[in-house]
Amino acid sequence: MVAGFLISAVCVASLFLFSGTKGGRIGIALQITARWSFLLFWLAYCGGAIAKLFGARFAALARGGRDFGLAFASAQLVHFGLVAWLYLSAPKSNGGMVFFWVGIFCTYLLALLSLPRLHDALGPKVWRTVRTAAMEYIALVFAADFILLPLQANGVGKYPLTYLPFVLLLIGGVVLRATANVRAQ
């Protein structure tokens, strides 16, 4: 958790220290923190599926799902702070914020419910349902951020190729999870 937060914070602090906060630097900081936190989310999102599909040598990914998820939540604190800063500095340009806030709610709900006493109190079936729904919603928020918004802003012809690795990971993650679920049935 500490490493997830510190890497986000150091990246943003370095950007602002060397480049300032004007001229779109907050947007760049948002992109950096989104990509870093996505990588942590992806490991939490897909670790169990990878272990189910590819065997015991990937069991550490499945066992580390909670840790990756908590590292994602801590890295998102920096991203959340930047979004709040941007929102407070330009409150009229807050389109789509409800969609984002629900994703933040899902992130910290999962972090809270990852406490063993709380998820045990829910029972395994409810905990699995809540966890799956929240994870899929967070993946949907990343899909909007990496696919929909850049396409709306730039069109297909000028889609930023820097998003492509993250789009491929996201799509691959959905396929991995779906395949693991089908095999489990």
The tokens for 50 are 């990878």
The tokens for 115 are 């406490």
Nearest 5°: the CA angle 179, 183, 185 is 120
* The pLDDT value given to residue 91: 63
* CB-based burial, 92-127: b 16+ in 10 Å, e otherwise: eeeeeeeebeebbebbeebbebbeeeebeeeeeeeb
Centre a 10 Å sphere on the Cβ of residue 145 and count the other Cβ atoms it contains: 22
The pTM of the full predicted model, rounded to 2 decimals, is 0.92
Q: Let me know how long the chain is.
A: 185
Instruction: Give the C-alpha separation, 45 to 138, whole Å.
Output: 10
Contact 135, 110 (CB under 8 A): yes
Instruction: Give the C-alpha separation, 146 to 38, whole Å.
Output: 10
Contact 176, 53 (CB under 8 A): yes
Sign of the dihedral defined by the CA atoms of residues 154, 157, 160, 164, in that order: positive
pLDDT tens over the chain, length 185 residues: 899 999 999 999 999 999 887 878 888 999 999 999 999 999 999 999 999 999 999 999 999 999 999 999 999 999 999 988 888 877 666 666 889 899 999 999 999 999 999 989 999 999 999 999 999 999 999 999 999 989 988 888 898 888 999 999 999 999 999 999 999 88
* The pLDDT value given to residue 92: 67
The tokens for 34 are 């989104």
Instruction: Give the C-alpha separation, 95 to 79, whole Å.
Output: 17
152-to-40, 92, 110, 124, 155 alpha-carbon distances in Å: 26, 19, 30, 40, 6
